[in-house]
A = this chain, B = another copy of it.
Amino acid sequence: MKNVKEYIANHKDRFLTELIEILKIPSISADSAFSQDVLDTADAVKLALENAGCDIVEIHETDGYPIVYGEKIIDENLPTILVYGHYDVQPPDPMDLWNSPPFEPVIKKTELHPEGAIFARGACDDKGQMYMHVKALEFMVKTDQLPCNVKFMIEGEEEVGSNNLATYVSENKEKLKNDVILISDTGMIANDIPSITTGLRGLSYVEVEVTGPNRDLHSGLYGGAVANPINILAKMIASLHDENNHITIPGFYDKVQELSDAERAEMAKAPFSLEAYQKSLDIESVYGEKGYTTNERNSIRPTLDVNGIWGGYIGEGAKTVIASKAYAKISMRLVPHQDWREITELFKNHFESIAPKGVRVKVKPHHGGQGYVTPIDTDGYQAASKAYETTFGKKPIPQRSGGSIPIVSLFEKELDSKTILMGFGLDSDAIHSPNEHFGVWNYLKGIETIPYFYEYFTEKSLGRG
């Protein structure tokens, strides 16, 4: 890839301005109040793909938010890369913890990002990482170095479970036909320790509702005499973990694959400082399943976390009330071989079974997805590894991530091709949190590295690698 560094240096400011414009649109797919913004973002992505050099760009309607499809086919005999990304973002709350408004991007220096980072919701997850691919294409097209065919599939419902993507994919297998799927929606260990994600956890997300009396009650007149839905919900949630922080749902671990000591020893080689980890989170101690290290707990082990809880009086001051209802949003991260539908069913049955008399329980499944593990001996992985080595000067470490991209296992099944997860963000970029950011260096390094993947993957596919 000739002059990639020069091209990026010459267009750096524009690359940043263009991304910032897209980050300004609050494309929060979880909140219907922002539906027009989500649609506007799809249009912006369409325009960006056209400008970057795609020959065909289409907005495909779904039952939810549209999918932006783009392609540049230069030769049927050359391999085809399918780039997947998403243009929707997580809700920004709690708003009061943001140091600058989530949809008014600003560039500020941080300890880990001395060259500055873009602070905005979606800066890293996934608008910033998705846009790297758009700019990488622009470079290859404008400098006549595009070595193969490329297709883009950018959706707007990843943060709410990609409910309509599955249907879209299965209905468009021919259109989406490819030799490898490329996704940048994960992270790497550090700017000087590149890594490639080789595993993802699955997900089951549910919402529970506990109903006690048919109305809110005065806690003095009824306190102690009726089941308090909040106390009961707390008791039920607490019972989902035992004293070793194992999950108590019957059958939950049945299909969990235990790693061999050798595999665990290999994992343990990844550089990690427990002290630095605790310091960065300002916690006195980590906490988790007995018998596993921190890096095992958040990657190769399934988990259950309450993501939100509410009930009763949560306003200013005091209200002596026993609420009629209490609610919680609960998600379980799953590991390969755990089926998310089966786990959701196990949760539902168990949670309903532990409800005491005097309350009624509803479990409403939200969404979910399967875990995924990719082999490292494929052309795709090898090409990605060589691309990082070229631009970072270091061979990347294969790493299992604790996150989920529910759609990945579906791609493999429907499109019969492997997915390569080339992430350029850092865990400390606060995705899904206030003050999400993405390093300017990382953004540009991604744009620099992606073209090499195209080059190496094409060579390997044509047997010249």
Q: Using CB atoms, name the residue of chain B closest to A295.
A: B225
Q: Count the A residues whose beta carbon is within 8 Å of the partner chain — how many? A: 102
Q: Using CB atoms, name the residue of chain B closest to A301.
A: B224
A149 at the interface (CB under 8 A from B): no
Q: Known interface pairs A225-B298, A239-B238. Does A97 touch B318 (Cβ–Cβ under 8 Å)?
A: no
Q: Are B228 and A306 in contact (CB under 8 A)?
A: yes
CB contacts under 8 Å to B, within A81-131, are 90-91, 93-94, 97
Q: Are B91 and A224 in contact (CB under 8 A)?
A: no
Contacts of A286 in B (CB 8 A): 225-227, 358
Q: Are B91 and A315 in contact (CB under 8 A)?
A: yes
CB contacts under 8 Å to B, within A355-375, are 356-359, 366-367
Q: Using CB atoms, name the residue of chain B closest to A324.
A: B97
A303 at the interface (CB under 8 A from B): yes
Contacts of A314 in B (CB 8 A): 308-310, 327, 329
A431 at the interface (CB under 8 A from B): yes
0/1 interface trace, chain A 418-430, chain B, CB 8 Å (1 if under)? 0000000001001
Contacts of A357 in B (CB 8 A): 284-285, 287
Q: Which residue of B231, B285, B305, B318 contacts A306 across the interface (Cβ within 8 Å)?
A: B231
Q: Which residue of B94, B187, B287 contacts A356 across the interface (Cβ within 8 Å)?
A: B287
A451 at the interface (CB under 8 A from B): no
Q: Are B433 and A160 in contact (CB under 8 A)?
A: no
Q: Using CB atoms, name the residue of chain B closest to A206.
A: B318
Contacts of A29 in B (CB 8 A): 317
A323 at the interface (CB under 8 A from B): yes
Q: Are A224 and B318 in contact (CB under 8 A)?
A: no
Contacts of A235 in B (CB 8 A): 234, 237-238, 241
Q: Using CB atoms, name the residue of chain B closest to A404.
A: B220
Contacts of A220 in B (CB 8 A): 201, 203, 298, 333, 401-404
Q: Are B282 and A316 in contact (CB under 8 A)?
A: no
Q: Known interface pairs A224-B297, A318-B366. Does A213 touch B329 (Cβ–Cβ under 8 Å)?
A: no
A186 shortest CB reach to chain B, Å:
9
Q: How far does the alpha carbon of A367 sit from the alpha carbon of B319 in the complex, in Å?
A: 11
Q: Using CB atoms, name the residue of chain B closest to A231.
A: B306
Contacts of A435 in B (CB 8 A): 215
Q: Using CB atoms, name the residue of chain B closest to A125.
A: B218
Measured CB to CB, the residues of A under 8 A from B are 29-32, 90-91, 93-94, 97, 159-161, 187, 201, 203, 205, 207, 212-228, 230-231, 233-235, 237-239, 241, 281-289, 294-295, 297-298, 301-303, 305-324, 326-329, 331, 333, 356-359, 366-367, 401-404, 427, 430-435
Question: What are 10 A-B residue pairs whose CB atoms fall within 8 Å in the complex?
Answer: A30-B315, A31-B315, A90-B321, A219-B331, A224-B302, A231-B241, A235-B238, A305-B322, A306-B312, A307-B320
